[in-house]
A = this chain, B = another copy of it.
Amino acid sequence: MTSDQPTPTLQDVATAAGVSTATVSRCLNFPDQVTKRTRAKVMQAVNALSYSPNFGARAMASRRTNTIGAIIPTMENAVFARGLQAFQDELHSYGFTMLVASTSYRADIEEEQIRALVGRGADALLLIGHERSPNTYRFLETQNVPTLITWAFDTSLTRPSIGFDNRKAMRDMALKVIELGHRNLAFISARTTLNDRAKARQSGIEDAMAISELRASDLHMVETVYGIEQGATAFEQVMKAASQTTAVFCGNDVLAVGALRRAREMGVRVPEDVSVIGFDDIELAEVAYPALTTVHVPHREMGWRAGKALAELVTNGTPIEAIELDANPVFRGTLAPAKG
């Protein structure tokens, strides 16, 4: 670096172009309110100085940031990645920037991140799932930040959501599994504390059992934290505690893949001895061997629809229309009829 020249400001451009700052501002924001000739002069100065507007100043003066925040449980694996990419692409096409933060599935961190993004002037927020502390919702309300929920759908709530019904999706899957003759079911669940998706998925299995005249209380449940290794451990626990199990549902594909691995290590054949069912349909599911039977989640569509809805809300005030998407079973190699 030769010299620490300070970044050029609007004023510098104005001086260079021989106009007022107001005119430069207009050139940049409303080009057609300005003469062709003036515009040319100004743009030339802009380029010469390679001026680029100061975000903070602009945010302060216009009281808008063109920023939309997304807060997801984790970036560690691909569960939210595909949807997020679609969300970001859509926002980008509207001229918005996406800010991401992750919570490691912890409610306290989520609240912190919400404050951080709101503090940074996010014009709106995308959140995963409905369940969080009243405090958090109160904050969002007083701050007047529009919020959209995704990865869930629940009309009984007033908050808009664009997602799918976790309970119904899991119920449909479970009905198919029961139809194949499975009676001894287990469920390896993600932590259900402040996680409505996990709870809903459990309820879905129980619904299916009730419909099929099985006793929901017979569902063998193990709750564990996220991770392949945790899924493996949980699978072993299940097989030890309830060895008659023929079908193991998992709260998500990551756990399911762990279960699959441990099954192989234990000499338990999938699907001949026990069927394994996941949820999410991320890349892992296809790649696993045998390929995982799972509930397909419309990642991309959810993402872009959410992006579009928020962009239009912020831009034109178009109210968000709740949208329920389908999440359907995908049958692959890990599910087979129950023996006998």
Contact = CB atoms under 8 A, between A and B. Distances in A.
Contacts of A58: 56
Contacts of A50: 139, 142-143
A287 B284 contact: yes
A301 interface: no
Nearest to A261: B287
A125 to B, nearest CB: 14
A118 interface: yes
A88 B120 CA distance: 17
Copies held by the complex: 2
A222 interface: no
Interface in A41-71: 50, 52-60, 65
Contact of A228 (B53, B257, B283, B289): B283
Contact of A119 (B55, B74, B76, B85): B55
Contacts of A77: 78, 81, 283
A64 to B, nearest CB: 10
B60 A56 contact: yes
Nearest to A118: B52
A193 interface: no
Interface string A302-334: 000000000000000000000000000000000
Contact of A287 (B7, B88, B143, B228): B228
A127 interface: no
A139 B50 CA distance: 8
A81 B284 CA distance: 14
Interface string A80-106: 011011001000000001111110000
A193 to B, nearest CB: 21
Contacts of A53: 119
Interface string A249-262: 00000000100110
Given A4-B144, A53-B119, A77-B81, 9 more contacts: A1-B144, A7-B143, A50-B139, A52-B118, A55-B120, A56-B56, A56-B57, A228-B287, A257-B287
